[in-house]
Amino acid sequence: MIGKALQDAINDQINKELYSSYLYLSMAAYFESQNLPGFAHWMHVQEGEEREHAMKFYKHLVDRSGLVALKAIDAPASEWKTSLEVFDQVAAHEEKVTASINALYELALKEKDYPAQVLLQWFITEQVEEEKNAAEVVANLQLIEARGTAVLMLDHTLGKRGG
């Protein structure tokens, strides 16, 4: 059985993960409206991952006889000025999620909840990847703004060289 403090914190995290899913879906819709299907695809993949994350926490509570208490999901933004602005928000959002996961892990340590620690270790590793992916897109968009798209196209071509 899971303790009440950790149960409540995981329910909060489920809400945060579902908000993340909703945010990335909104960003996908924005990119669709900008005729950028590749960017929209990236966001759809991200949106699906966030939904899966919420369900991992949901299943953890159910498996441990905890109570799942779903809450209202805040409405995300729906308009941005540039693709870089969108991905800057993605990077900042992922940093917030990382901080939230870390706080959950600290609570699991304090509560000596070993099953939650195992679950959260997966999320800690996942957040390293999430932050890296967002930072790479931000860096590429900054490069495009600084040097134009041709340098990225050439980089992509050079990267395909056989060795």
Whether 70 has a pLDDT exceeding 70, the answer reads yes
Whether 154 has a pLDDT exceeding 70, the answer reads no
Question: What's the domain count of the chain?
Answer: 1
Whether 118 has a pLDDT exceeding 70, the answer reads yes
Whether 148 has a pLDDT exceeding 90, the answer reads no
For residue range 23-69, list pLDDT tens digits in order.
999 999 999 999 998 999 999 999 999 999 999 999 999 999 999 99
Mean pLDDT for the chain overall: 94
| Residue 75 and residue 18 in contact, taking contact as beta carbons nearer than 8 Å | no
120 vs 38, which has greater pLDDT? 120
Domain range enclosing 73: 4-159
Whether 163 has a pLDDT exceeding 70, the answer reads no
pLDDT of residue 91: 98
pLDDT band at 88 (very low <50, low <70, confident <90, very high): very high
Residue 65's CATH number:
1.20.1260.10
pLDDT of residue 84: 94
pLDDT band at 147 (very low <50, low <70, confident <90, very high): confident
